[in-house]
A = this chain, B = another copy of it.
Amino acid sequence: MTNEAQRPAARRRRKEARPQELTAAALSLFVEKGFAATRLDEVAARAGVSKGTLYLYFDSKEALFLAVIREGILPVLDEGRRMLAEHADDPVAALRAYIRGWWSMLGDTPYGGVPKLMMSEAQNFPEVANFYLTEVIQPGRALLQEIIERGVAGGVFRPVDSKLITHILMAPMLHLALWRHSFAACCQVPDMQADDYLDEYFRLLVHGLLVHDKEPNP
């Protein structure tokens, strides 16, 4: 039996990195084609291993799917909490940071396809959907809700239904990510400039569409 410590470091590193190489390949394909339409052959090929190797690390295709979803999303929440604390006294800045942060740390990374994937597959994998809802969506929305509620309490934001509004507020961000992994990926559409999109969105949030006689924050 080889002693763990005696094994060459390179190989040990490789072995430990394997599962993530596999889930990364699987993620990109699941997002691209959906779970059912993705063949494990392709996943293995994209990860540069043989099909059998997948089964050394994951019991089944479903287990692979679960691992894909589990992985790498939760750490982001901590970062979000940290940011929120930083801007505790300025709801507008916090909102801006939330939007920017969501995009740069999630939407614009390989994990940006997960919302599409989870929406597509929620009904096929109710337990996974529940897990994702509980562990990712709801905590993420709770952060946003807190920003909103602080703003309202501080008299900066209008009184709103803070639960409902989080759904509404998330939608344009999610849409940006969904669009990128659907129509933008297959049709000749002019690239949506994410930064411009998010800026425009932020202004919409803050001011609405109407022309106001007096600017609120001079």
Q: Interface on A for B, CB 8 Å cutoff?
A: 1, 32-37, 50, 92, 95, 116, 118-124, 126, 129-130, 133, 137, 148, 151, 155-158, 160-161, 164-165, 167-168, 170-172, 174-176, 178-179, 181-183, 185-189, 192-193, 196-197, 200-201, 203-217
Docked Cα-Cα span, A206 to B121, in Å, equals 34
Interface of A is mostly: helix
A43 to chain B, nearest CB (A): 15
Docked Cα-Cα span, A151 to B122, in Å, equals 39
How many copies, total? 4
Contact of A186 (CB < 8 Å), options: B32, B122, B156, B187: B122
Contact B172 A168 (CB under 8 A): yes
Contact B186 A129 (CB under 8 A): yes
Contact A133 B210 (CB under 8 A): no
Contact B119 A120 (CB under 8 A): yes
> Can you add 11 more A-B contacts, CB < 8 Å, to A164-B196, A167-B197, A168-B197?
A119-B178, A119-B182, A126-B186, A137-B183, A157-B209, A161-B196, A167-B172, A167-B192, A205-B209, A207-B210, A210-B216
